[in-house]
Every structure is written in structure tokens, then in C-alpha cells.
Structure 1
Amino acid sequence: MSLDNGIDAVADPSRERPLALIPRPLHLQRDRGQLLLPVAGRIVCGSAVDQELGSVLSGQLTDTIQQATGMVWDHSRGQAWNGAISLDLEQKLGPQEYLLSIADQGERRPIVDIRGGDGQGLRWGVQTLRQIIMQCGPVLPALHIQDRPAYPTRIYSLDVTRGRVPTMDWLRHWADILALYKFNQLQLYSEHTMAFPGMSEAWRGTSPLEPGQITDFDDYCARLGIELVPSISTFGHHYTNLRTRGFRDLGEFPEQADRPYSFIERQEHHTINVNHPQALAFSTGLIDAYAPLMRTRNFNIGGDETFDLGKGRSRQDGSSKNPADMYADYLISLCDHLHAQGRHPMFWGDVAVSMPKVLDRLPKDCTLLNWLYDPQVEPDKVALVASTGARQVVCSAVHAWNLLLPAIDDAWNNISRLSRYGIQYGAVGAMVTDWGDYGHINDPRMSLPGMSYAAQCFWNPDDDDRAQVDRDMGLLIYGDATGDYLPALIQAGSSAVFGWEDMVRYWELDDGHGGLNQDVADFLASALPGMNGLNSSADVREARRNMLMALRNRFEQVDQRDALLVDAAARMGRAAAECRADARRTLQAQLMAVHGQRLFNALGRSLAVRHGVLPGAKDAMADGDLADALEIWFESYATVWRQVSRESELGRIASVIWGFADILRKG
């Protein structure tokens, strides 16, 4: 039937195709037929829709229609205008709820009607329609959707401090993706890579984010319906800050400030001495510099992994407080500071959960971010926080840190399980974290699977059909109609023998002067199954051999894993040939990671032979070739890094890669 507004109904069920939607709607009814969008259509917003919101949503839709079909559409407001797509509010719907109908409703009636219970609900309906248009072009399936999220707050936390600082273009691109998949909060985690006043000694050489860039990005996120929330360390994780001349005296162990730089120590040490008379002023100064750059009233003050608290200067100062009281008093002081400004404190919950005394003292008008990253996570810690009446957000992870290739199975298991527990115990929100420990070698594009899993599980944790989610992800994220791209990426991510984490651990057993780094050795004895403890009389070579012995079973699988990596790269390449051009942009980063992992695996086996862990004779020529290959790979890796990140601390990764190349050439 031909309509006056140029819309044609095509009743041909045989041409219907499966729809990939992330997250999948709660209720979707497919009807018979397909409907052809007009060549020159119009989007009309109802008068109840905020003008700025209507402009943003109309712009998103017209851009998506043009990209998917080449057609140029108009947009307008008010009942006087006819449109093929109608956007309006519906009081009968709940918060963030929406209705989306695609149907032949007769002459002079819209073909697509989206109603939101509020502005957010209307926004999510538009994102669903955009996903449909991206797949179907101008020929839309007739359907009816009624949908709403399980978690009102769905958060992505992005590390922009531990070696990789993203470009603003990439941050805007990432925000676009988060908006498309219905996240409504983004936290930017920083320790020292904001250009804070008076702290240039800490942020120099890190390509820091500037205040104007954050303010502009806040405006950008707000237009997308994303709340940009500041997230900083306030008394734990101050490794770089507490190594400076200007601030080292604030630390628990200022005498360690001149030790050689260490990725491992950056994660394990450098907590502020909370009893220092200038400590609170330092922490509140960071808050006061960062908070005004964003319109939100929320602020994540960190407070996690305060490993050194009460062990150094704070203990020597003669304080009678135990670490639990020190922690609680300082956290409460920071919360009070934020409350006085009308802001809402959020903080990581690991310390409080591990110390019931702290948990009992927490102010109730805060949000505890309960991070639990174990792929086999159990509900006990979520239940514990719920039993206190504390407001909590459950926090899972994309499981990509310290890896060239993501641990996608771990991400699914962690995110899907924890999302269900959060609903069960009344969590007010869900977060997925994206960290960059050990220099942030993981390319941000490796986080797309974890991000997609979180989008689905935060929206509807009971819909846990992973096979369906993977199929939808393959189509939407990678544009892959073959269904093989994601399985190949999962295979590649499961084929590491000697990963970046192993390389850093091996490298940093040397204290920088040829001696054994006892702190790293002690850390590995507790973190690496099968590694025996080492006393101070052990040398670096003995410690490294001990570590490689703990990994021996892996090294015996290098050839098998190498074949799997080669196969995965070939499968990804074949699938990418069928993908959309924009989806193929991730291929270079992933193939670069696959090739790098092959070289890392070969390096591990070479080291195992050198240390007598595996049989075989050292081949100086082969080792020289591997050294060349590592250096050549790194130059290409650096080029890919710069596509999405500033220079930041890329040189720290280079120093490790080049260091191994030098070891290989020593014979």
C-alpha cells in the first residue's frame, strides 16, 4: 500500500531477517511484513519533548539514516508537521521505559512511533531504532517493543591514568558507543594524568588531560544522556604523586620514592599517610580541582587497595589508631567535604567489605562501589553490604587489563553472575570497569566484548543467553554476518602462554641494579601458583628460573597455541572481508595483538630454554631474529596506539620490549 507520505508497506515475511539488538528488549513482537522508509522523510518531536533533547535525538536518527541509506531527512516539532518517525512522551510509562512501534498505521500517520516515559526512556527507544536502521537500512521490520532497564544506573569506568591517556576524538567516539548501547554514566579514573595546578612534577611527560577538555567532554556526554563522573585516587594508588620531590613526604614510605620505576609496585604500594597534617588538604585539593569541571553532583573518591595504611609513617607517628579506624576516619572526612559542597560521594568498597568495623561506620548517604572481578564470583559480599543497608553499585570488569587480547569468557562469567546478584540484593546500579594496569598495553578496542556483555546484563540480567548475545555482538559491533569473528577472537584470547603480565613480572624481578627485587619476589610467591618463596640470598637468575618453572606446563604448549593464534587471525581476516567498512577498523588492532602474542609466547619458550626449564640448546641466530621481530612489532604497535591514545607512557612499554630484545641478543 502506498501512503501519501511516501511510505510503502512490503508484506513479504520471507524477506524478514533476525535482528541483533544490544541490549535485547524485554518484550519484542515481530509482525508480518516490512516497511520502506521514504527517500525524503521527516522526524517530528512532540511538544512535550525538551527542545534540546529533541534536537539531539533527531540529529542522531538523521545521521544514522544517512549513513545506512544515503537518504537526507528533515526534522521538526509540533503536531502541524507530518513525519515518518514520531518522538513523544507518554505519562503512562515508567522511568526509562519506552514503546517502539514500526507498523503501517494508515495514511498520514507515522510509520515509526517512539514513546518514552521520560526523556531517558525516549532516548533509549531512539538508540534501539538506530540499531535497527544500521542493520536493515531503509527496509524496516514491522514490530512492537516495550522495554525498560533492570538497573537505573549503568556505568562504564575507564582508566585514563596507568600509562594510556586517550585522545579526545577517541573519548568522544567511545561515548557515542556507550550511548548507543544505553549506558548512562561514564567515570574517568585518574591518579596523576590530569593537569592539576601545582602538580606538574607528577603529570609531566604523561600527556595529561586539560581542564577545558574535560569540561567540553562533559558537555558532549550530557547531550548523549551520559553523566560524566570524576573518579580519582584520594589516598591509595598515589604511586606517581608520592615519587615526586614535592609530595613524597605525604607517603607512608617516602624513603621508597627513588626506587626504580615498577609497574608492579605502582599497583601494590604508595598510600598516603593519613595522619600527616597536610594529607587531607592534598586530597581535598584534588577533589576541588576536578569536581567543578563536570555538572554531576556525584564524585568517586577511590579509597581502594590502601595496602600500606598503618604500616609506615602513620605507625611511626605514634598514632594509637588501628588501620581500620584510620581508614574510616579519613574516608568520612572526605565524604563530609563533598557533602558540604552538596555532592554525593562514591568510593570503592574493597577495604570496607574486608573490615566489618569500617563497614559499620560508613555514612549512609554515600554509594559503595562493590568491585568483585572473579569470573566465578559468589554473592556473599554483595549480600554482606546489603545487610548493612548501605547503598551499593556492583562492579564487574571487561577483563582486558595486562593482556594483548581480552579474556572474553572471564568477562561474561564475571559480568553476568554479578549483575544477577546485584538485582537480587537491591543494588542501585551496575558498573563495568576497564583498567590499564602494567602500562595499559590493552588497546581500548579490546574492551568491546566486555562492554557489550555489560550493556546486556545491566539492562536485563535474567536474559543470559550468551550465544544470542555473541551473535548480536558479532553483527552489531563487528558487522560480521558469518558468525565467526567473535569466536576467533575468543580463541586468540585463550591462546596466551607467556603474556604481558608474565613479561613484566620476569623483568621486574631485577631491582634495576642487577639485584633481586624482594618485594616483587614476595608478591609473585603469593600471586603465582607453583612459585616457591625466595629469601634475600637468592639472585635474580634463580628467581626468574623459579618463576619460569611455575609456568613450565604452559611452555610445552607453545606450538599448539601458536597454531591456534594463526588460525584465529585467518578466521578474523576472512570474516572481516564480509564486515562493514567501519567495523573493519578494529581488525588492525586485533591482528596486531595476535601477532604480538605469538612473539610473546616464543619469547617465553626461549627464556625457558635459557634457564634450563625446557630441554634444548640456545640458538643465538633464532634469538636474534626474535629480538628483531619484537622491535619491528613494537613500532607497528606504537602506530596503532597513537590512533586512539596520546603518547602518554608508551615509552615504559618500549623499555620492557627493548630490554627483552637485548637479553635475547646476549647469547
Structure 2
Amino acid sequence: MSDQATLKGWTIIPTPQTVQHKAGVSLLPMCGRVNEPRAFGDERQVLATQLADDIHAVTGLEWDITTGDRWPGFITLTTLDDLDARPSGAYTLDIAKDGVTVRGADFEGVRNGVQTLRQLIRQCGAALPRLHIEDQPAFETRGYYLDVTRGRVPTLDWLKTWADKLCLYKYNQLQLYVEHTFRFDGMSETWRGSSPLTPRDILAFDDYCAERGIELVPSVSTFGHLYMALRTHTFRDLGEFPETADEPFGFIDRMRHHTLNIGDDRAFDLSCRLIDDYLQLFRSDRFNICADETFDLGRGRSKPLAGRIGVAAMYADYVTRLCRHLETQGKQPMMWGDIALEHPEILERLPETVTLLNWQYDPQVDDGKIRTVAESGARQIVCPAVWCWNALLPRIDDAWNNITRMARYGTQYQAAGMLVTDWGDLGHVNDPRMAIPGMIIGAQEAWNPGRIPNEADMLSRISRLEYHDASGELLDILARASHAACFQWNHLITWLELDDGQDGVNTGVLQTIQGLLPEDERPDDVVRTLQDGSRAPSLAESRRILLRYLKHHVTLGETADHLLQTSARRISAIAATSGPWTNGDAAAFRVAIEGQRLLNRVGLRLASETGVIGTVQSGEAIQHDDAVNLAEALEIWMEAYAAQWGMTSRDSELHRLQGVVFRVAEHLRSANGARSVL
């Protein structure tokens, strides 16, 4: 795509393969029509309605929708003449003086062309640039993977909003990550209190996605990540360590210990029950059994079996049985590829029908694991991430680096597609709207990888198109703000959960401290302390270890606060000129930035309490007033955060996040003799 498009003030994401600019502007008529034939399957004229709605939103004009050759429209949707020569999803778009024509290789192609036209209408209104576009996707499968289980269950309305946005950026697949947040019959112990999705929700959402050219693929944990189920009275005996079922809930523990004991025949029955109940609600022929991060496999109840045949064989045999079970029902199995890549011999034993979802989230990821799967002959989809988990602000730089590299390797090794993942570890504190920049980067790279030369150009394009920011600066400001996260949500969770609830140390959490920093940033003396098995450190010592690890970052809080305040002011000013399109996003950004300012202050105070840094002095940039005032500021912030939560999500586990903030507030009030003031 020519840079002329950017100079003219509009952009298209993903960038088309070829754009021919022509002289002049095509003015949409005041009373126009969109003509859409029924032949390619859009029975409810969703695509024509999208166009008419956008025209009305931008111009105020009311357009009609029609079908058939006796009702010509200024905008015509149709199929290409040389269908066999075009891949699925390909389209052409012609904007001429006397009309606009979208031609697609199939329904998906027409849909994709309509989304390009919608983007132009949103930016140019009734005066469209004359041009000819020929376009097709690099990856046949362009999917998004949304976590709806680790704390945040979206409302059905928000899921539909998200599907609309995925459609606009030409995604054609969506998976919802489910562990315990679906209302399975006979499993109320597992889903109670989680605001679970229901069969009716899935049926309605499946229809909604299909009408927009998005395949909703069922995905449910069937092997690992069954933490909530394995804590119930009904299913605890099926876990590797049933004796831990009554231990207090822990965000970190939920991510580490959750594996079925597959040496028990009842485990396979449970896995099949989850599969069979869930798949009936979807029209898709695919099913993702997950089967990732089975950390405890062969370490607990199944240890004797592991001793006889080995963990790799145990894993391969179990997932193969699950895949065969799906095959008998005409379904194509999918699964995460991490365990198979840890034990490459597993790759040789997997069914040929399985698609490996090869997730690699390192921003500097290399091609090693993608090459390994390609050389094995297995079908794979590459899976980068939007990099929002465990934090209030999105790490957009990491998302850009991770997604662009994975797209390049996926193309190089002929992957079947790309699946952009959006996780919510540790309570899903990240607002779903924070994932929009990463989602759009993923859309670009899955369609036309490597076409945008650098991150700054990409963020400027997204700012203008998605956020209606004429300056193109919004996302650069947000990305820079994320660099000011000195004490983050996962640091706070670690600090809290080092307490085992009995005045002792949770040694499992203690072992995770080293993972909070890259190896080249870890203090050597602290590493030795952790490796010294002569004695277990006290809770106070453990928390001091954590804060010594983070000392360099935490002490940047004073400087970081100035950056965060400046970012909030600049984003607010941009939002004020962008119209009502961005009101919700602007509120989410503001709440996240203010929350990070408070987290940074908490980190400074905790480090000061433990003697890791000297007594905190009040500065001009950040006022470290007494602990009581900081506690109150946290509680006031949580009310604003909860209001934003309700804009996108059901209650689900909001109470757990509130509990975290309130526990910290109580600590601040009680520490160092702080007293409540009426």
C-alpha cells in the first residue's frame, strides 16, 4: 500500500496487497442503496446493514438495503467471476464515480471487502477516494483467543461488541478459553459464584459470530488447568494432589497446580464428558482440548504409572485418546503444543488430524520451536500474545515484537494460521479494551505480515483509525506510559500470597520470585538465598527478598509518576477531540493509569517498610503522605475500577480483586502504627 494513503489522512488495517489510486473523489448519494444478493449466504443482510449503519453514523444519511437485479444500488456486493483462481477470503474493491463494488471469492471475501469499505467510510464520510484494491490474506486462519475464565467473564453484549471489532479487522476465528466458567450440568461446585456462561449464551454467540464470518471454535480445559474442579468434593480425587484441595485459594497456585491424574480411568470419563457436552453447542468442526501446562503430570497419584512408561508416553497416550474420541464425532482436534515441544518424542505419536497451537510469547522469540513442529510434519498454528496479562497497562512494545516475529516465522514455515492470544492471569485485572492495540497488530500481521515497516507507523495508523485521533499519537503515549509500571499487579499478588495464611511462607510462591525478573537482572545474593535449603526464610524475610529483587524498578516510582500524570493529561486532551467513539476507551485508560500510579506508591512504601530502600521522602512529583491516605486512595480507585469492570464483564471474580486491594489497604493502615483518622 502506498504511503500516499497515510498522507491523505486515511489508512486501512490490515493494509491491502495492492491499491491503485485514481483521481477524484466519489460522493455517496444522499438516498442510496446497498445491493446484496442472497447467493453467498448472508441471509440476514448483515454486511449490507454494517455499511448502512456506518454511513448513518458518520453522515447522518439513511440508506436502504436491497437484493436482486431489479434494485440497483450505489454500493454493490457480489462474487468474483474467476472464483477458482482466488483463495478464500480474497476480494476486490472498486470505488468509482458512478458506484462502489465489492467482489469476493466467497462470503468471507465479500465480508473482507466490506470491512475495508467500512474503514474508509468511517474516516472519509461520504467523500470516498477513488481506487481499485486487490487483496487476499497471508494466513487462511486468522484467529483470536480470549480468556473468559481466570477472573473475568464478559457479558454477552461485550462478546458481541468484540466479535464486531474482530470482524472489522478481518479475523475469521474466535476461541473462548474456558476452565470452570461454563454452566455444565452436574458441576455446580465448579462454576458456582463465577457468573458462568450458559448454553443459551453460546448458542446466541455462535450465531452472531457466524453471521459475521467468524468461526467460534469450542475450547475447554480437559487435562491441565482444572484447578477449580479439582478443589471440589466431587472431583478432588481425580487430581494429582487431592490432599491440597482444601488449601486457601491462590492466584499463583491456580496457575501452577491443576492436572488430572490420568492413571485413574475416571479422569478420561470426565474429559470426554466436558468435550461431549460442550461441542454440541457449536457449529464448528474443530475442538480445542487445550492440554497445556500439565506441570504435575507423573508427580503425584500417577507417579507409579510415570515410573513404568514415562511422562511423555503418558501424555501422548492420553491426548491421543481424546483426539480419537473427537474424530469419531467428525471433529478436528486442536491442542496447545508446549508439552509436546518439551518432549519432542510426543510429536511422533500424535494423530495426524491434530493441529498444534504453538504458543511462544517471548518478544525476542526465535524460530526454533516453530521449525521443530514444521520438520515433524505436524499441522501448526502460530500463537503470539497481546501482552496484557498481570498488568493494568498493555505492554504494546512487547506485543509488537512478539506478534511480528511469530507472523514472520509462521509464513516462513508455512503454518496454517495465526491465533492471537489474550490472557487474564492472576484475576484478569487487565481491562479487555487494553487488548485492542495488540489485537489490531495481530490482524495486520496475520493478513499482510511485514508490510508495516515499524511499530511507530503501526501505532499511528491504529490511533487514527480505531481511536479517531487525528494526531496519531495516542498509542505512542499509552505505550510509553506502560514503561512507568514500576510495581505491577503480579508483584503485589506475589507479595500478598507469600503469606500462607498461617503466619508462615508459601514456599511455592517463594519459588516464583526468580521469574519476576530476567536472569541478568537477578541479584546474586538473593538467588543464593533462595537456593539455600538449610532453612526456610520467614514471611518478613521472603517479602524482603521479593522487594530486593524489585528494588531497581520500585525506586523509579518518583520519575515514573511524572510520566504517568503527563500521559493521563495528553490522552484526556486527545479523547476530548475524538468524539464519542472513544469515551469508553478513554475512561479505561484513565482508570488504568491512575491505578498504576497507586501501585507504584504501594511498592515504594512496602520497600521502605522492609528497609530495602530508605525512608520515602515527599517529592513534588508524588506525594507520599501517610499510609492511611494511600489506603483511602486505593479504595476510592477500586470503586472507579469496579464501575469500568461492569462496562464489559459480569461480576465473576471482581470480588477477589477487591479483596486484594482491601487487604493492602488494611496492611497500610496497620503498618508502622498508622491509625485511622475520622
**Which TM-score band (shorter chain)?**
over 0.9
Equivalent residue number for residue 668 of structure 2? 664
What code does the residue aligned with 1:516 have? V
Q: Which residue of 2 aligns with 1:496?
A: 485
Q: Which moved more, 1:609-618 or 1:243-252?
A: 609-618
Give the Cα separation in 1 of the matches to 2:515 and 2:301: 25
Aligned residue for 2:253?
265
Per-residue deviation, residues 94-128 of structure 1 (Å, max 9, x unmatched) = 121111010125xxxxx101111111111100010
1:80 aligns with 70
**Residue in 1 aligned with 2:271?**
283
Query: What is the CA–CA distance in structure 2 between the aligned matches of 1:373 and 1:59, rounded to whole Å?
Result: 38
CA contact under 8 A between 1:634 and 1:657: conserved in structure 2? yes
CA contact (8 A) 2:240 2:302 kept: yes
Q: What's 1:513 paired with?
A: 502
Instruction: Give the Cα separation in 2 of the matches to 1:500 and 1:440.
Output: 10
How many residue pairs align between the two structures?
Answer: 649
For the residue of structure 1 that corresponds to 2:119, the secondary structure is helix
Give the aligned partner of residue 19 of structure 2: 28
Partner residue in 2 for 1:89: 79
Match of 1:301 among 289, 300, 303: 289
C-alpha separation in 1, matches of 2:125 and 2:10 = 12
Distance change (3 Å), C-alpha of 1:78 and 1:617 = closer
Comparing 354-363 with 462-471, greater Cα deviation is found at 462-471
Q: Label 1:71 to 1:523 Cα distance change in 2 as closer, same or farther (>3 A).
A: same
User: What amino acid sits opposite 1:588 in the alignment?
Assistant: A
| Cα distance in structure 1, aligned partners of 2:240 and 2:343 | 20
- Match for residue 474 of structure 2? 485
SS at match of 2:581: coil
Residues in 1 aligned to 2:511 and 2:41: alpha-carbon distance in whole angstroms: 59
Structure 1 CA distance, aligned partners of 2:536 and 2:568?
A: 45
- Kindly tell me: are residues 626 and 96 of structure 1, through their superposed partners in 2, closer, same or farther at Cα, counting changes over 3 Å? same
Give the secondary-structure state (helix, strand or coil) at the position aligned to 2:397.
Answer: helix
Pick which of 460-469 and 616-625 moved more: 616-625
Query: How far is 1:205 from its partner?
Result: 0.5
Taking a change above 3 Å as real, the CA distance of residues 100 and 14 of structure 1, as seen in their structure-2 partners, is: closer
CA distance in 2, matches of 1:23, 1:349: 28
Report which stretch shifted further, 221-230 or 615-624: 615-624
2:30 matched to which residue of 1?
39
Q: Report deviation, 1:277.
A: 1.8
- Specify the alignment match of 1:331 in structure 2: 319
Correspondence for 2:126 among 109, 134, 138: 138
Structure 1 counterpart of 2:634, from 630, 634, 638: 630
Distance between the aligned counterparts of 1:49 and 1:341, measured in 2? 28
SS in 2 for 1:63: helix
What amino acid does structure 2 have at the position aligned with 1:23? P
How far apart, CA to CA, are the structure 1 residues paired with 2:482 and 2:7? 34
Match of 2:60 in 1: 70
Worse overlay, 43-52 or 119-128: 43-52
Partner of 1:438: 426
Tell me if the contact between 2:456 and 2:476 (Cα under 8 Å) persists in the aligned partners: no
- Asked whether the equivalents of residues 147 and 176 of structure 2 are also in contact (C-alpha less than 8 Å), the reply is yes
Q: Distance in 2 between matches of 1:574 and 1:20?
A: 23
Tell me which residue corresponds to 2:207: 219
Q: Post-superposition shift, 1:68? A: 1.2
Cα distance, 1:30–1:628 mapped onto 2, change above 3 Å: same
DSSP-derived class of the 2:425 partner? coil
Correspondences of 1:492-571 after superposition (within 5 Å) = 492-528=481-517, 529-530=522-523, 531-532=526-527, 533-534=529-530, 535=533, 536-571=535-570
Choose which of 151, 157, 169 in structure 1 pairs with 2:157.
Answer: 169
- Paired residue for 1:345, among 325, 330, 333? 333
Aligned counterparts, 1:444-455, within 5 A: 444-455=432-443
- Which segment is superposed worse, 458-467 or 521-530? 521-530
Deviation at 1:394, TM superposition (A): 0.1
Q: Which moved more, 1:618-627 or 1:259-268?
A: 618-627
CA distance in 2, matches of 1:152, 1:14: 26
Q: Secondary structure at the match of 2:265?
A: coil
Checking the alignment, whether the CA contact within 8 Å between 1:400 and 1:447 is kept in structure 2 is yes
For 1:492 and 1:621, the matched residues in 2 are separated by 23
Cα shift readout 1:51-83 (whole Å, capped 9, x = no counterpart): 517x12111111111111111111222222221
Is the aligned partner of 1:655 residue 2:643? no
Q: C-alpha distance in 2, partners of 1:621/1:102?
A: 61
Deviates more, 1:622-631 or 1:528-537: 528-537
Unaligned stretches of 5+ residues in structure 1: 1-12, 106-110
8 Å CA contact retained: 1:150, 1:459 = yes
The question of whether the paired residues in 2 share the 8 Å contact of 1:402 and 1:436 is answered with: yes
* Correspondence for 2:97 among 85, 101, 104: 104
Aligned counterparts of 1:360 and 1:442: Cα–Cα separation in 2:
38
> What CA distance in whole angstroms lies between the structure 1 residues aligned with 2:467 and 2:584?
9
Give the C-alpha shift of residue 580 in structure 1: 2.7
Partner of 1:459: 447
Quote the offset at 1:464 in angstroms.
3.0
Does the C-alpha gap of structure 1 residues 73 and 432 become closer, same or farther in structure 2, counting only changes over 3 Å? Answer: same
* Cα drift, residue 312 of structure 1: 0.3
User: Are the aligned partners of 2:608 and 2:614 in contact in 1 as well (CA < 8 Å)?
Assistant: yes
Task: Return the alpha-carbon distance in structure 2 between the equivalents of residues 185 and 15 of structure 1.
Answer: 29
How far 1:487 sits from its partner (Å)?
1.2
What is the one-letter code of the residue matched to 1:92?
D
Q: Which amino acid aligns with 2:506?
A: N
Q: Contact (CA 8 Å) 1:20, 1:471: kept in 2 or not? A: no
1:47 to 1:587, Cα distance in 2 relative to 1, 3 A: closer
Give the TM-score normalised by structure 2.
0.93
Give the C-alpha shift of residue 462 in structure 1: 2.4
Amino acid at match of 1:20: T
Q: CA deviation at 1:354?
A: 1.1
How many angstroms does 1:289 deviate by? 1.1
Quote the sequence identity (%): 49
Partner of 1:9: none
**How far off is 1:200 after superposition?**
0.3
Structure 1 letter corresponding to 2:595? G
Return the offset for 1:214.
0.5
TM-score (norm 1): 0.95
Residues 65/617 of structure 1: CA separation in 2 closer, same or farther (3 Å cut): closer
Distance 1:359 1:402 in 2: 31
SS at match of 2:21: strand
How far 1:418 moved relative to its partner?
Answer: 0.4
Contact 1:16–1:34 under 8 Å retained in 2:
no
User: Hey, what's the Cα distance between the residues in 2 that align with 1:48 and 1:374?
Assistant: 45
Amino acid at match of 2:653: E
2:315 counterpart SS class: helix
Displacement of 1:47 in angstroms is 6.5
**Paired residues of 2:10 and 2:465 also in contact (CA < 8 A):** no
Call closer, same or farther: CA 1:162–1:422 in 2, change over 3 Å: same
